[in-house]
Amino acid sequence: GSASDAAPVRHAQWSSRLAFILAATGSAVGLGNIWKFPYITGEYGGGAFVLVYLACIAVIGIPIMMAEVALGRRGGQSPINTMRRILREDGRSRHWALIGWLGVAAAFLILTFYSVIGGWAVAYVVRAGGGAFSGASSDGIAALFSGLLASPGELLFWHGVFMALTVAVVARGVSGGLERATSILMPALFVILLVLVGYALASGHFSQGLRFLFSPDFSKIGVGGVLAALGHAFFTLSLGMGVMIAYGSYLPRGVSITRTAVSVSVMDTTVALLAGLAIFPLVYANGLEPSAGPGLVFKTLPLAFGQMPLGGLFGAAFFVLLVFAAWTSSISLLEPLVEWLEEHRGVRRGIAAAAAGIVAWVIGIASALSFNLWADVRPLGMFAAFADKGIFDLLDYLTANLMLPLVGLATAVFAGWVLSPRILEGELSEGRGHVFRLWRFLIRWVSPVAVAAVFWHNLG
C-alpha cells in the first residue's frame, strides 16, 4: 500500500462516491451560479467573458480542485491539520500551512456577504408565495427589488434568518439528512431551471440571449474582466478556501478523484449556463440591461413567474430551491472555522457555530447597509482601483478576485513544485499514470502561470 496507509487518525468517511459528489456539488452550486455568474457575465459583456471563464474552469479550476481533494484525502483531517501533517511527513517548511489559514479567513469573509444575498432569496420566497409577481410589469418587478434594498431592517432580518439556518446545520454537524435532501433538491433545481429555459425559448428572444452568452466579442472584456472570470472560477467551484481539502478528507480510497472533480465541475458549470440561458432572453424580451448588476436575477426571473400559469407556485419553488442551494454552500463556508475552533481551541461545536455565525452576521451588516444607508461609503476610496467600490463590492472583489486566486496560486505551486511527487501520486494514479502526468503538467505550468499572468496584467 501507499505510505498514507500508516496515517494514524482518519475520521469518518462518506458513505460513497455519490455522497462526496453530493456534498461537493452542494458546496459548489449556489448563489455563485444563479445570482453571480449571470450578473458579472452581463457586466463584462457576455460571450468573451463566458469563454475565458470556461477556460479557467478547465485548465485552472479542475486541476486545483484535484489538488485540494487529493491533499484532503492524503491528510485525512481539517484543512489546517491536513497541511501540517503533510508538511511534516514530507519535511517541508511549516509556513505552507498559511494556505489553510488564508482559506479559512477567505471563507469567513465571503460568508458575511453571501448571507446577505441568501437573505434576498429568502425574502423572495415570501414575495413569490404571496403572489407579488403575478401580472407585474418590469417596472413593478424592479420596484419590488429596490424596495427590498431600500429597507435596512428587512435586509438585516432576512440576513439573520439565512445565517440562523446555516448555524443550525453546522452546530449539529453536517449530517446524513442534508445528504438526502441534497440528492432530491439539487435535481429539482435543475428541473426548474430547465422549465425556465423552456420559457425563455418561447419568449421569442432566445437567440439574442444565446448570442449574448456565446458569441465572443473580446473588445468588451478587458483585463478586469479576465481577472473577474478567473476569480469567479475559484468562487463557483469553492476553491482556494480549504473547503475541498476538508471534504476530500472524507473521501474513501479507491474513488477516482479525477472523475469526481470533473463531475462536480461539469454540474456546477451546467447550472450556471442554464441560469444564463433562462435570464438573458428575458432581459432582451423586456428591454432590460444585461449590466443591471447584483439585482439581475431578481429583476428578470420574477417577470417569467408573473406571466406563466401557476407562476406563484413555480416562483416560490424556485426561490426555495435557490435558498437551499445557497444554504449548502454557506454551510461549507462556516464549517472550516468551526472545525478549527473545535479541534484547536476545544470550543464546543454548538457554541463555536453560534459565535462564528453571530460575528459573521454583525460584519455582514456593513454589506447590507452598503445597499442603502451606506451606499456612498468607499472604504478604499483613496486608491484609484477601488474608488468606485462600496463595502459589498469591495468585499466581493477582495475575496473572489484577490484572496481566492492567490490561495489557488499558492496551492498550485505547493502541489506542483514543493511537495514530493510521490505524496500525491497515489491519490491520482488512475489511468496507468497518464492522468497524474497530465495533472502534474497543468498544476506546475498552466495553472500557476495563468494565474500569475492575470495578476500581472491587472497590476500593470
Q: Does 397 bind ligand PHE (CB under 6 A)?
A: no
As measured in angstroms, the least distance from the Cβ of 238 to ligand PHE is: 4
- Reduced to 3 states (helix: H, G, I; strand: E, B; else coil), residue 151 is coil
CA–CA dist 205, 354 (Å, integer): 47
User: Could you say which of 57, 62, 241, 292 contacts ligand PHE (CB under 6 A)?
Assistant: 241
Closest contact distance (angstroms) between CB of 111 and ligand PHE is 9
Residue 447 binds which entry of Na ion, ligand PHE, none, CB below 5-8 Å type-dependent? none
Instruction: Look at residue 27 and give the partner it binds from ligand PHE, Na ion, none, a contact being a CB closer than 5 to 8 Å depending on partner kind.
Output: ligand PHE
The reply on whether position 81 binds Na ion by CB under 5 A is: no
Q: Which is nearer to Na ion, 32 or 46 (CB)?
A: 32
Rounded Cα distance between 264 and 21, Å, is 6
What CA–CA distances, in Å, run from 2 to 62, 81, 249, 301, 429?
24, 20, 16, 51, 11
Residue 200 binds Na ion (CB under 5 A) = no
**Minimum distance of ligand PHE from residue 115's CB (angstroms):** 12
Q: Binding to ligand PHE by residue 236, rule CB under 6 A?
A: yes
25 touches ligand PHE (CB under 6 A): no
352-355: Cβ within 8 A, 24+ apart? 353/167, 353/170, 353/171, 354/167, 354/171
Q: Does 110 bind Na ion (CB under 5 A)?
A: no
Stretch that binds ligand PHE, among 68-76, 189-197, 209-217, 238-246 (CB under 6 A): 238-246
Please, which residue, 166 or 238, has the CB nearer to ligand PHE? Answer: 238
32 contacts Na ion (rule: CB under 5 A): yes
* Contacted by 265, from Na ion, ligand PHE, none: CB < 5 to 8 Å by type: none
What one-character DSSP code corresponds to residue 380? T
> Which one-letter DSSP state was computed for residue 6?
G
- Under the criterion CB under 6 A, does residue 24 sit at the interface with ligand PHE? no
| Residue number with CB closer to Na ion (28 or 366) | 28
* Residues in 96-155 that interact with ligand PHE by CB under 6 A: 107, 110
Among 77, 78, 236, 332, binds Na ion (CB under 5 A): 236
Q: Answer for the pair 175, 257: CB distance below 8 angstroms, yes or no.
A: no
28 binds Na ion (CB under 5 A): yes
Size of the site for Na ion (CB under 5 A): 5
- Select from Na ion, ligand PHE, none the partner in contact with residue 241, using the beta carbon and a kind-dependent cut-off of 5 to 8 Å: ligand PHE
**Radius of gyration for the alpha carbons in the chain, expressed in angstroms and rounded:** 21
Looking at the Cβ atoms of 288 and 301, the one nearer to Na ion is 301
Q: Give the interface size with ligand PHE as a residue count (CB under 6 A).
A: 16
* Grid coordinates belonging to 192: 426548474
Q: How far is the CB of 235 from ligand PHE (least distance, A)?
A: 5
Task: Give the separation between CA 395 and CA 226, rounded to whole angstroms.
Answer: 19
**According to the binding rule CB under 6 A, does residue 399 interact with ligand PHE?**
no
Which residue of 25, 27, 33, 138 would you call a contact of Na ion, by CB under 5 A? Answer: 33
C-alpha to C-alpha distance for 396 and 224, rounded to whole angstroms: 14
**Cell digits of residue 176:** 446524513
* Pick 298 or 436: Cβ nearer ligand PHE: 298
Establish if 286 lies at the interface with ligand PHE (CB under 6 A): no
Q: Which lies closer to ligand PHE via its Cβ, residue 203 or residue 367?
A: 367
Considering only residues 308 through 337, tell me which ones interact with ligand PHE, judged by CB under 6 A.
Answer: 329, 332-333
Give the Cα separation of 195 and 12 in Å (integer).
Answer: 39
CA-CA-CA-CA torsion sign (413, 414, 419, 424): negative
Query: Please, which residues have CB within 8 angstroms of residue 257's CB and are 6 or more apart in sequence?
Result: 66, 69, 70, 73, 248, 251, 427, 428
Distance separating alpha carbons of residues 239 and 408, to the nearest angstrom: 7
Q: What is the DSSP letter of 382?
A: T
Q: Which residue is nearest to ligand PHE (CB)?
A: 32
Q: Are 165 and 327 in contact (CB under 8 A)?
A: yes
Q: Can you state the percent helix, strand and coil of the chain, rounding each to 5?
A: 80, 0, 20
* Integer angstrom CA distances of residue 48 from 41, 217, 218, 223, 458: 9, 5, 5, 12, 17
Under the rule (CB under 5 A), what is the footprint of Na ion?
A: 28, 32-33, 236, 268
Under the rule (CB under 6 A), what is the footprint of ligand PHE?
A: 27-28, 30-33, 107, 110, 235-236, 238, 241, 243, 329, 332-333
